[in-house]
Chains A and B, each alone.
Chain A
């Protein structure tokens, strides 16, 4: 039973929210390559949402386009999630490895990405009155992905449902912590750099006399 290709496994997981991830785990399947493609598509989705949404729905400030925040909001957030979850679940007796968490989380994101693409696409053909369709599709994808994510985390760590929810909430807290520390570190390094640079200029001036 369950002899799928890698793409077949992805499809199986998405359309079988209850058992899919357990099957995936049981069969020791899941491809890192596909996971990375999904994360990349998430990033592309962020960009598309900003740039390709129909004119009447696009609330973005079009004068400036900066890709860095979008990159942070997609790729960086995803990997922070993975690392935070992994770090937390070593404490919470989770069974998932870093690689598995990464793969399973990415797989769970697919409905959100797909629905978001669809809603971006149809936003180009609808008017304000029909916006409800767009939002409906978007939220369908979002809810589906959340359900999948819960199932994925449950399967990867072999948790009970309650523990999964608790661990996910803590993961979000840990994510905030990680990002906060990262920003702190960044500004610290920046100050170190500025310090070093000012010493360099000082010395350079002295030498020049």
Chain B
């Protein structure tokens, strides 16, 4: 008896294990896709990006750097992995991706499709110093004046920014160097550029650590031209309290006080139209993400009554994967070719993608969980996008994670693109597909509603806006819907109004004549004579005198 029971037990146990294993083994994204609804509540959503692959040093074929035959030979002991790489830059014309491999003191050039190494640069010729020292930023663009590809490198520990042209796959030649400004306006002791950005006129903007009055701006010929786009001081209770204290404090006390300074921004990017987007680490209320015009003013200004929000909307977010609470720290920004804005949250490893009107498109990516799953990120240092892919550079796992848009992401992007161009009707098909995949995707309903509004199907538009809980657009649609309704029912309304007026006139006339139609009321009346139909003129006169107010009369009569 014992044996068959044991067999049965072990068999069923095996079955259960097998089943539970098959449950855990299905391919899923390492992150929980979510989105925010109208009330800023986080709701689950579809994944708009999935992890395509992760690229480490061996996939980049960095061993080529040790191979004299390969053409990118550097030395026999060239490091075979990235080491705390800090920045990515994409040069689309030649399909290149540039990596600032910071601790290895080199800049790598990768092929954008295969991500294999095609160039390695450890220094710049014809410059003040040959080698790089912990370069933290790289920016590649086409120079209008030279009409060729130029590389800007924030050579952080060498306190310089270098502009260089590419001589061959292992050599850069210096075009211009940018050093610490000698002007009195520049008050910081050090000059350690971390990130750089260059506009169409080849002005160089550098984020310099411990400079909080904006990015340091250089003209093309290397002259310091000022600071650009400083953040404002975030007004908190502590700041206001200090303002008041400052008014009454003595000079000695003032010296000891901490100054309220704005927070320097962490990173920036430039879009195709020449607007510079900055991102600031702490402080998610004001200035967390800014779109600066050439004068340095923020176009997205919440002070003007708008409500632009970036990052996680709750100040502290509990992540069930890492079992920790996070506060958002936005460290990198990237503007894609289609004007989608990718904002990197260093704390959670999430990328928040916005369309050009700052509407949240999707959220993807996550930090390393305990299982260290592929596609999770330990130290997200940079985010860059090209085509339908988003690249995230990991400074501690020393790899690049590539996210590729899913079918859902494709529909969302296509819909948002058309929507932002104002082609609401064209976007309809895409929004329909989005709704099919994620029924709680708020923006799809707004898009569909606007399409319906454009096509003058007002009631449908109202339905959509109500679903999205978009009161502003609902209001607009309602205005049109009401107008249309009034137009359609104009004759009916006129008839009703005329009838009502007629009724009032007739009633007045009947009252004047003392004719009462409602017999019920007549019975309850006491002071008025019962034979109301054929009332004489004398009777009427008698009645009129005591009754000053019709209502009062009625009440009096009812009371009796």
Selected contact of B559 from candidates A4, A61, A127, A128, CB within 8 Å: A4
A63 neighbours in B (Cβ, 8 Å): 39, 41
- With A55-B474, A125-B482, A127-B479 already in contact, the answer to whether A5 and B555 are too (CB < 8 A) is yes
B556 neighbours in A (Cβ, 8 Å): 3-4, 8
* From A3, A11, A61, A125, residue with most partner B Cβ within 10 Å: A3
A3 lies within 8 A of B475 (CB): no
Residue of A nearest to B469 (CB): A62
B469 neighbours in A (Cβ, 8 Å): 62
B471 neighbours in A (Cβ, 8 Å): 55-58
Chain B nearest Cβ from A198, distance in angstroms? 30
B555 lies within 8 A of A127 (CB): no
Residue of A nearest to B551 (CB): A11
Sorting the interface of chain A by its residue count into under 10, 10 to 19, 20 to 34 or 35 or more gives 10 to 19
Chain B nearest Cβ from A35, distance in angstroms? 19
B559 lies within 8 A of A8 (CB): yes
A4 lies within 8 A of B555 (CB): yes
B560 neighbours in A (Cβ, 8 Å): 3
- With A62-B469, A63-B39 already in contact, the answer to whether A127 and B558 are too (CB < 8 A) is no
Selected contact of A8 from candidates B41, B472, B482, B555, CB within 8 Å: B555
Residue of A nearest to B476 (CB): A127
The answer, yes or no, to whether B91 is at the interface (CB within 8 Å) is: no
Residue of B nearest to A124 (CB): B478
A55 lies within 8 A of B466 (CB): yes
Residue of B nearest to A131 (CB): B475
A12 neighbours in B (Cβ, 8 Å): 555
Selected contact of B475 from candidates A5, A11, A56, A61, CB within 8 Å: A56
Residue of B nearest to A1 (CB): B556
- With A62-B469, A125-B482 already in contact, the answer to whether A5 and B559 are too (CB < 8 A) is yes
Residue of A nearest to B481 (CB): A127
What separation, in Å, do the CA atoms of A115 and B438 have in the docked complex? Answer: 43
B39 lies within 8 A of A61 (CB): yes
Main secondary structure of the interface of B (DSSP, over half): helix
A3 lies within 8 A of B559 (CB): yes
What separation, in Å, do the CA atoms of A11 and B553 have in the docked complex? Answer: 13
* From A7, A11, A62, A127, residue with most partner B Cβ within 10 Å: A127
A3 neighbours in B (Cβ, 8 Å): 556, 559-560
B41 neighbours in A (Cβ, 8 Å): 63
Residue of B nearest to A63 (CB): B39
B551 neighbours in A (Cβ, 8 Å): 11
Chain A nearest Cβ from B313, distance in angstroms? 15
List CB contacts (< 8 Å) of A1-17 with chain B. Answer: 3-5, 7-8, 11-12
Q: Encode contact with A along B3-41: 1 for CB under 8 Å, 0 otherwise.
A: 000000000000000000000000000000000000101
Q: Encode contact with B along A75-98: 1 for CB under 8 Å, 0 otherwise.
A: 000000000000000000000000
List CB contacts (< 8 Å) of A48-81 with chain B. Answer: 55-58, 61-63
Chain B nearest Cβ from A60, distance in angstroms? 11
Residue of B nearest to A128 (CB): B475
* From A4, A57, A58, A61, residue with most partner B Cβ within 10 Å: A4
B475 neighbours in A (Cβ, 8 Å): 56, 127-128
Residue of A nearest to B558 (CB): A5
Chain A nearest Cβ from B549, distance in angstroms? 10
Chain A nearest Cβ from B169, distance in angstroms? 59
Chain B nearest Cβ from A138, distance in angstroms? 18
What separation, in Å, do the CA atoms of A149 and B478 have in the docked complex? Answer: 38
Chain A nearest Cβ from B195, distance in angstroms? 41
What separation, in Å, do the CA atoms of A55 and B472 have in the docked complex? Answer: 10
Residue of B nearest to A62 (CB): B469
* From B466, B469, B475, B551, residue with most partner A Cβ within 10 Å: B475
B482 lies within 8 A of A11 (CB): no
What separation, in Å, do the CA atoms of A127 and B472 have in the docked complex? Answer: 10
List of 9 A-B pairs having minimum Cβ-Cβ separation, nearest first? A8-B555, A56-B475, A127-B479, A128-B475, A5-B559, A56-B471, A3-B559, A56-B474, A127-B475
Extra contacts besides A4-B559, A55-B471 (14): CB < 8 Å: A3-B556, A3-B560, A4-B555, A5-B559, A8-B555, A8-B558, A55-B474, A56-B471, A56-B472, A56-B478, A63-B41, A125-B482, A127-B482, A128-B475
